[in-house]
Amino acid sequence: MKIIFITYVNRSGSTFLANIFSKYSEILVCPEADILIYRLLINPNKQFIYDNKQKQQIKSFISNDKKLKYWGLQINDLLGLNTVKTNFDAFAEILFAYQRKVKPNATTIVFKGTKLIDLYEKISREIKNKYNLKYISIIRDGRAVFASQKRTISPSAKKKFATNPIRVATHWNGFVNNSLKYKNDRDYFIVKYESLIEEYENSIKKLFEHLELNTDKAYSKHGDLFERIPDYQKPIHLYIIEDPQKEKIDSWKKKLNPIHIYIFEKISGVNLLKLGYEIINPEVNLRKLFFIELYFKIKLIYKKIAKIFSPTRFLFLFNKIVKLDFVCKKKLLFLKITDFKHKLNKDK
């Protein structure tokens, strides 16, 4: 059995790629289940002890976790956990149980998660060889990623994936740097979302050759992943059963504010160029840029302070930051009014 990990930044086309794999009868694609990463893969080489406490914990999360419960597994499906040696073996046994239940003839299992890239160096060579483990990073133009995150409501958090270009650009940069660090490893493969859309057949051929997948023609036009995605997640993944739409590749140019584009390129310009993306460098009002950047930096500080300081100390600093935040908003409003008056005078 071969296991393939897909890792990504949210809204990069990972579910679209995963669904392509699901079109083949020899490949099972698992719906997302982040709890398996946090519970078993953070320490993949650690000895797994299947005692009563562990059994109850696993029984609880296969039944109650918001994502994993949709796999429909029962504790009696996991009898193989009695003989596994490591956390990774336990993780694999859960995947195998799902494979036996959903696609018994599959010889390859695909599992995806944003945190998987952080585990690449942690997983031992022995385990990688045992499961013929392969990694795929799917990378999309970071500006398109931010545009999608900015307008998409997360089904879990019930709010937009992101609104802060500084935060997304920094995270995207880190992901790209890690991916490029491993690009020459035989177990690692990088797929650009845009290539997948523009050169679909050629991209899939190269990908399957690298992964050493011997598959015949796809048995299903739309794949079978969408029907197994939890209902609450389906609204943000409707596109995966559609044909590739090339016109969507550059749609971010119209959807993003020029200042957001400028900020993103300022942070991630080097990596954008490395990956062959065009730098737009839009003209922006420098006064607005200064206060908008300051505003987004303040938003980042909110989260960092909450993790570092005690509640009392946090409230004190929070009040200070709110005052600064208010000043920034007030200044931005003043600039907007000034610009509006300037345009009125011009029209006269």
Average pLDDT over residues 294-299: 80
Per-residue pLDDT band at 330 (split at 50, 70, 90): low
| 159 and 14 belong to one structural domain | yes
**154 within domain boundaries:** yes
pLDDT value at residue 175: 98
SS3 113: coil
Distance in angstroms (rounded) separating the CA atoms of residues 74 and 160: 34
**268 within domain boundaries:** no
pLDDT in tens, 116-146: 999 999 999 999 999 999 999 999 999 999 9
Q: Is the pTM of this model over 0.75?
A: yes
The tally of domains found in the chain comes to: 2
CA neighbor of 93 nearest in space, from 16, 5, 1: 1
State the amino acid at position 302 in one-letter form.
Y
Looking at residue 48, the DSSP 8-state letter turns out to be P
pLDDT value at residue 168: 97
pLDDT value at residue 248: 87
Per-residue pLDDT band at 268 (split at 50, 70, 90): very high
Average pLDDT of every residue of the chain: 89
Instruction: Walk across the sheet containing 188-192 and list its strands.
Output: 27-29, 108-112, 2-7, 134-139, 188-192
Which of residues 234 and 300 earns the better pLDDT score? 234
Could you tell me which residues are beta bridge partners of residue 153?
Answer: 160
Q: Which residue range(s) make up the domain with 311?
A: 287-347
Q: Of 220, 248, 276, which marks where a domain is finished?
A: 248
Buried b (16+ CB within 10 A) or exposed e, 148-163: bbbeeeeeeeeeebbe
**333 within domain boundaries:** yes
| 157 and 302 belong to one structural domain | no
Q: What is the CATH number of the domain that holds 198?
A: 3.40.50
pLDDT value at residue 243: 83
pLDDT value at residue 336: 60
Average pLDDT over residues 90-106: 97
pLDDT in tens, 169-207: 999 999 999 999 999 999 999 999 999 999 988 999 899
pLDDT value at residue 329: 60
Distance in angstroms (rounded) separating the CA atoms of residues 152 and 131: 35
Could you tell me which residues are beta bridge partners of residue 137?
Answer: 7, 190
Portion of the chain with pLDDT greater than 70, in percent = 86
Per-residue pLDDT band at 265 (split at 50, 70, 90): very high
SS3 content of the chain, % helix, strand, coil (to 5): 60, 10, 30
**265 within domain boundaries:** no
**267 within domain boundaries:** no
pLDDT value at residue 244: 84
| 188 and 332 belong to one structural domain | no
**327 within domain boundaries:** yes
**30 within domain boundaries:** yes
- Among 83-97, 227-241, 279-293, 302-316, top mean pLDDT goes to 83-97
Portion of the chain with pLDDT greater than 90, in percent = 73
**260 within domain boundaries:** no
| 221 and 296 belong to one structural domain | no
